[in-house]
Amino acid sequence: MLNLQVKYSLLSILIIVLISGCNNSSSDKKQPALYFCDAEKVRAGEFFTNDTYFLNGQTQSDDFSRSGNFSSKVGGEIKYGIGLKLDNLLPEELIRAEVWCYGNDSSKAQFVVQGDWGLWFANKEIIETDANGWSKYRLEIYIPDIIDKGTLKIFTINEYKKPVYFDDLKIERLDEASLYMEITGLETLELDISDEIYADFLNKRLKAIQRGIILKEEKSFVTATLTSREKTNDVSIRFKGDWPDHLNTMKWSFRVKFDSGEEWNGMQEFSLQAPVTRGYLHEWVYHQLLKQEGVLAPKYGFVNLKVNGISKGIMAYEEHFSSDFIADNNLPASVILKFEEEEMWKVRSTNNGKDGDVPVFVNSKIECYDARKLSRNDSLNTYFNEAKKLLTELKEAQTPVSQIFDIEQLSKFYALIDLTNAFHSLIWHNNKFYYHPKTKKILPIGYDGYGSNGVYNWIKKANLMEKFNDLPKGESAMMNMYINVFDDSLFIDRYKFYLDKYVDENFIDGFLKNNSHHIEEMASYLKQETSYYRYDKNFLKKNAERIRQVL
């Protein structure tokens, strides 16, 4: 079984590359808000700037520099370059660090953060390159409120023989609460939670972060009120998500459910979560493509959120699966199904985030949303049993998928996943299905295409066909399920048709032209809070080019 998320230690810190906000800092910080080192001065073996000492001054070199005359030369026997040790970390502090790197092997360099509680994380991703060939690395480290007075080292590494050069290290210490603002142009939702319930949320959050997984026991609904468009309604809310990236920052993820038939934006139940948990704008673009091509997908967008009067900034909203979702898509009343995942999370909670030898997918039950309706509606109960039989056959990976799915819908879905790299959608517990009672076939529902680190390319190929076509079945039940999909010639024929269509330059140009205004608008909202966020408008084109090369 594939393990598809990062591990979280007992006192974990969420490390998110390319997130953040404004350049405000807390006024009560004992440490300077900004540290900068250009490698120009060395004192007592350490770099020295504005009364601050930086690590490894012995690496000073005048071979190359981005500014001034010197940089930090690292390579061969000297592995560690310019860096800084930060003491007395404060809860809910955000550390933002940047450094520039130069050299033929700069892509092999690492920008590292190390905490005295066992944290170690390296960023190898280049986010920017200037005209002179210098490349920028960035780290952002959120200090949760369960860490107090810790020590953090931020430093550079090159473990290869050829030297690389680091220069212009900049580190900022920010108060996370000051980062979130109300974005003009977005609607604002306001949740009000009683002090007692809020305190209970804090306790549940602490347990989930310490465990490294949010279990069902932390997800019980409680009462709150939701105000939108000057109207206040009673709602039930709970934590939402599985991994601590949904709780580690002040942007907690919530499921919201109206109590009295009211709705917001046509939804009686929906989720609120930080945009980073769905890859920022990637998820929104993915949903637009799904809907354009007639593939089922929940409503998805962005909104401001306040909790007890305090701004939590911009949040993503996502429709929950319900009878309203079915009706809004002009489909006959039926059932939406999923693979039960509670056992998997229990196993991972006691096994360092891994499945181990437990066949969690094989053991997973097939369930439906709004299951309580089955006992009151004979038709829905019949549909559930019919759909359950089909999904059991899907899991067993023996029946041709053209006998299980609406093959046009499945082919479009897979081809769009290839184009958008939304492979996270295909993790077995992210699969959601609508059963069509007239055609007696399953329709896939597209959502959850990305995680907090953006694209999760677990297939490690240009497209799904390259991964699964002609691959022999093995011990992994999930892999066998997808191999079986590509064993069906009827599916292959339609999948190729749609893949050819979607990777065509005219198709992508047409989509971007029709959606450019909204993409720019959404990107501008995200950039107001995430100051250096950039949506790569060539993302789809680059994906399509890679796919065309192997077709």
Residue 89 has pLDDT above 70, yes or no: yes
The per-residue pLDDT for 244 is: 81
Residue 397 has pLDDT above 90, yes or no: yes
Residue 550 has pLDDT above 80, yes or no: yes
The per-residue pLDDT for 63 is: 97
Domain with CATH 2.60.120.260 in the chain: 34-179
- Per-residue pLDDT, averaged over 16-43, amounts to 59
Identify residue 456 by its one-letter amino acid code.
Y
The pairs formed by 382-387 with CB atoms below 8 angstroms and a separation of 24 or more are 383/334, 383/335, 383/435, 383/437, 384/335, 384/337, 384/435, 386/435, 386/437, 386/440, 387/334, 387/335, 387/337, 387/433, 387/435, 387/442
The pTM for the full model equals 0.79
Residue 227 has pLDDT above 70, yes or no: yes
Residue 8 has pLDDT above 70, yes or no: no
Residue 468 has pLDDT above 90, yes or no: yes
Range in 190-199, 229-238, 324-333, 532-541 the model is least confident about? 532-541
φ and ψ at 119, to 5 degrees? Answer: -70, 135
Going along 216-279, which residue ranges are E strands? 222-228, 231-239, 254-258, 269-273
- Per-residue pLDDT, averaged over 221-225, amounts to 97
Report the mean per-residue pLDDT for the chain.
88
Residue 123 has pLDDT above 90, yes or no: no
Residue 86 has pLDDT above 80, yes or no: yes
Range in 10-24, 179-193, 264-278, 486-500 the model is least confident about? 10-24
The per-residue pLDDT for 245 is: 82
- Per-residue pLDDT, averaged over 186-193, amounts to 97
Tell me how far apart the alpha carbons of residues 531 and 548 are, in angstroms, rounded to a whole number. Answer: 34
How confident is the model over 471-517, as pLDDT tens digits?
A: 889 889 999 999 999 999 999 999 999 999 999 999 999 999 999 99
Residue 28 has pLDDT above 50, yes or no: no
Compute the Cα dihedral for 524, 525, 527, 528 and give only its sign.
positive
* Residue 354 binned pLDDT confidence (cut-offs 50, 70, 90): confident
Residue 253 has pLDDT above 90, yes or no: yes
* Residue 122 binned pLDDT confidence (cut-offs 50, 70, 90): confident
How confident is the model over 45-82, as pLDDT tens digits?
A: 999 998 899 999 999 999 999 999 999 999 999 999 99
Q: Which two tokens stand for residue 137?
A: 């690395």
What is the 3-class SS of 136-197, one letter each residue?
A: EEEEEEEECCCCCCCCEEEEEECCCCCCEEEEEEEEEEEEHHHHCCCCCCCCEEEEECCHHH
- Per-residue pLDDT, averaged over 176-198, amounts to 90
The per-residue pLDDT for 22 is: 28
The per-residue pLDDT for 19 is: 30
How confident is the model over 421-440, as pLDDT tens digits?
A: 999 999 999 999 999 999 99
Residue 303 has pLDDT above 60, yes or no: yes
The CA angle 446-450-455, to the nearest 5 degrees, is 125
The per-residue pLDDT for 145 is: 63
How confident is the model over 200-216, as pLDDT tens digits?
A: 998 898 888 878 888 88
- Domain with residues 34-179, CATH architecture: Sandwich (2.60)
For residue 211, give the H/E element and its range: helix 195-211
DSSP for residue 38 = -
Residue 6 has pLDDT above 60, yes or no: no
b/e 131-162 (16+ beta carbons within 10 angstroms → b):
eeebbbbbbbbbbbbebeebebbbbbbbeeee
How many CB atoms are located within 10 Å of the residue 348 CB? 25
Tell me how far apart the alpha carbons of residues 153 and 511 are, in angstroms, rounded to a whole number. Answer: 45
Tell me how far apart the alpha carbons of residues 388 and 341 are, in angstroms, rounded to a whole number. Answer: 16
Rounded alpha-carbon distances, angstroms, from residue 500 to 113, 547, 548 = 43, 9, 8
The per-residue pLDDT for 382 is: 97
Residue 13 has pLDDT above 70, yes or no: no
Percent of the chain clearing pLDDT 90 (strictly above): 65
The per-residue pLDDT for 345 is: 79
